[in-house]
Amino acid sequence: DKGNHRHFMEKEIHEQPEAISHALSHYVDFLAHTVRPIAEEIDFAKVPSLAISACGTAYLAGLVGKYWFERYARLPVEIDVASEFRYREIPLNPASAALFISQSGETADTLASLRYCKENGLKIGAVVNTKESTIARESDAVFPILAGPEIGVASTKAFTCQLAVLAALAVGAGRARGTISEAEEKTLVRHLAEMPRIMASVLNTIQQSIEQLSRDLSKCKDVLYLGRGTSYPLAMEGALKLKEISYIHAEGYAAGELKHGPIALIDENMPVIVIAPHDRFFEKTVSNMQEVAARGGRIIFITDEKGAAASKLETMVTIVLPNVDEIIAPMIYSLPIQLLAYHTAVFMGTDVDQPRNLAKSVTVE
Ligand code: F6R
């Protein structure tokens, strides 16, 4: 049932504040501001490293997770798309743990990567939406994302719930390893706890500007997304979402890679979507934006209040989000990129919930 929404995708985008709140309550104690003890099958305090593998959007969630595990838990992360991971003959440390992220829990390549790690003696964790899935069944520890059923083929609430769970796991691992203090844990958990409310208010306020922008975007043939830090996987997720449902060609790049190739594509016909909260990377990303502006590129700037005030560059549109802590930025910035893809596809008249050539669950390699 779509309720009063035109598509399941729209409904699922709007369900995110509630879904995230539900997911988080499983992992964090909102009163004590601590992460609940995580599955004892995987000893995050002792593992020397972590391997992560997944496909598509779930892989991009894993890529954000890598930044978090490395930053908060000082845990080195080896990550690759499952179709490469399983065949790369990666020398794996049997003392390590591996995480497999999958909404369906049935993705063939992800399952094959899981089995490869299991054969190599690693402890296996599954970050899944479907607890009764094959990937969940074959794992030592299951970390449910509790997003509820996701019907739209393009993943939205599963992505942000995967992120929320990975954030909680990284903070929990950081505590277990002593790489973050009790006070830091409390602060981070406070930020996580604020997220559903912030998401709800963002969903209410950006709708109109996104719809206007989507009308322009639906006339474009190519779109470039740029980001740094955790905004880099988000740039790739934005591009993936747009191509999946609107069939517009899009690429997500690390902002710093712009000058190593993609800058050659820049002209007035290719909008460049820059995802840049006012974080420790902001100045660097703005200088990449300058390179775009100097070549006549049209910039769609997704930033926060501080970022909007700090940048003097002329943009086609600036979407201003509230100032938020770095740990919740990826979830908050998912909202404009999902809505942008959604409304662009609606303008194009594509089959949003059932895009051509795509299946919700990919059980063949
Ligand atoms: C993108 C999308 C796909 C899936 C991928 C993995 O919107 O839905 O890229 O993320 O096929 O699927 P799961 O998570 O079921 O393993």
Q: Does the Cβ of 107 fall within 6 Å of ligand 1?
A: yes
Q: What average pLDDT does range 220-229 have in this prediction?
A: 96
- The whole-number pLDDT of residue 245 equals 95
The residue type found at 273 is: I
Instruction: Say if residue 351's pLDDT is above 90.
Output: no
Give the separation between CA 66 and CA 43, rounded to whole angstroms. 17
Ligand 1 centroid from CA 61, angstroms: 10
Helix boundaries (H) for the chain? 8-14, 16-27, 56-73, 82-85, 108-119, 134-137, 157-177, 182-217, 231-246, 282-294, 305-310, 329-348
- The whole-number pLDDT of residue 39 equals 80
SS3 195: helix
- The whole-number pLDDT of residue 355 equals 87
Ligand 1 centroid from CA 268, angstroms: 33
- The whole-number pLDDT of residue 174 equals 97
Give the separation between CA 185 and CA 191, rounded to whole angstroms. 10
Ligand 1 centroid from CA 50, angstroms: 21
CB 353 within 8 A of CB 8: yes
Give the phi and the psi of residue 142 in degrees, each rounded to 5.
-110, 130
Instruction: Say if residue 352's pLDDT is above 90.
Output: no
Strand partners, 272: 224, 299
State the first-to-last Cα distance of the chain, in angstroms, to the nearest integer.
Answer: 31
Q: For 2-39, what is each residue's pLDDT tens digit?
A: 999 999 999 999 999 999 999 999 999 999 999 998 88
CB 159 within 8 A of CB 102: no
Q: What average pLDDT does range 226-242 have in this prediction?
A: 98
Helix boundaries (H) for 76-156? 82-85, 108-119, 134-137
Q: Does the Cβ of 10 fall within 6 Å of ligand 1?
A: no
User: Distance of CA 33 to CAs 44, 190, 329, Å?
Assistant: 20, 6, 19
- The whole-number pLDDT of residue 198 equals 98
- Closest ligand 1 atom to the C-alpha of 158? 14
Q: For 300-326, what is each residue's pLDDT tens digit?
A: 999 999 999 999 888 999 999 999 999
As for the ipTM of the complex, it is 0.99
The pair of structure tokens assigned to 298 is: 């049209």
- The whole-number pLDDT of residue 349 equals 93
- Closest ligand 1 atom to the C-alpha of 361? 15
Instruction: Say if residue 360's pLDDT is above 90.
Output: no
Give the separation between CA 270 and CA 56, rounded to whole angstroms. 24
360 counts as catalytic? yes
Instruction: Please give the share of the chain, as a percent, with pLDDT higher than 90.
Output: 91
Best residue for ligand 1 mutational test, from 63, 86, 103, 113 (most atoms within 8 Å of Cβ): 103
- The whole-number pLDDT of residue 210 equals 97
Average pLDDT, the chain: 96
Q: For 82-130, what is each residue's pLDDT tens digit?
A: 999 999 989 999 999 999 999 999 999 999 999 999 999 999 999 999 9
- The whole-number pLDDT of residue 363 equals 84
Give the separation between CA 350 and CA 353, rounded to whole angstroms. 9
- The whole-number pLDDT of residue 173 equals 97
